[in-house]
Amino acid sequence: MGYASALRAAGADVIDFKEIGSYQGTWGAIVDFQGQRSLVTGYYGSCSVCDAYQAQFGYDSPAIQDEDGKYYSNWYKDQEITKEEYDAILEKARQELIDFGMSYLRYPMTKDDVVKRIEYYDKNDTGEWSFDSEERELYDWAITFFN
C-alpha cells in the first residue's frame, strides 16, 4: 500500500514511481490517466504527522479475516464482526483510497510543465545542494518517460 496504490485505485496506470529524499521528501509517479501521460507529485514523511498517506490510512488493514474464517474490526481481534460489517469496512476503505488517489490526479503535470520546471532550475541553479536540487532530480527522472 502507499501513494502508488492509491493512484492505481483511482484508475491510473502507474508506469513508475520514485521517491527523492530520505526519511522525508518528494515522491513522483509517471501515470497514464484519462488518456494522458503525466507526472503526479506529492510529499512523504516518516510518521503520520508528516505523511498524508500514513495520517489517512496508518499501517494496518481496517479489518481482518483470520485463518478460522472469523472477522474482526482490527488486528488485535478484540472485536468480532459479521461478514457484512467486514465487507462494509473494506468498501469504505477502498473508496477512501480512491478519493485519496484522485486528490493527486486532479492537477497532473504534463510534459510541457516538466520541461518548464527543468528550464527554471537550469536558469536558477546555484550549484549547491538544496531541496530544489532534489526536486530537479525528480523532473530529470520524469522527463525520460515522455515521448
Residue 79 CB partners (closer than 8 Å, separation 6+)? 72, 73
Residue among 14, 7, 19 nearest 135 (CA): 19
User: In this model, does residue 124 exceed pLDDT 90?
Assistant: no
Residue among 61, 60, 96, 64 nearest 77 (CA): 64
> Average per-residue pLDDT in the chain?
91
Residues 138, 121 contacting (CB under 8 angstroms): no
In this prediction, residue 103 has a pLDDT band, given cuts at 50, 70 and 90, of very high
What pLDDT is stored for residue 133 in this prediction? 76
Length of the chain, in residues = 147
What are the pLDDT digits (tens) for 44-85? 998 888 899 999 988 777 889 998 899 998 888 888 999 999
What are the pLDDT digits (tens) for 106-122? 999 999 999 999 999 88
User: In this model, does residue 129 exceed pLDDT 70?
Assistant: no
Rg (CA), the chain: 19
User: In this model, does residue 100 exceed pLDDT 70?
Assistant: yes
What pLDDT is stored for residue 59 in this prediction? 75
What are the pLDDT digits (tens) for 9-34? 999 999 999 999 888 889 999 999 99
What pLDDT is stored for residue 74 in this prediction? 84
What pLDDT is stored for residue 134 in this prediction? 80
Pairing of strands 64-65, 36-44: unpaired
Cα 7 to Cα 43, 65, 70, 84: the distances in Å are 14, 26, 31, 27
The set of cell numbers assigned to 133 is 536540487
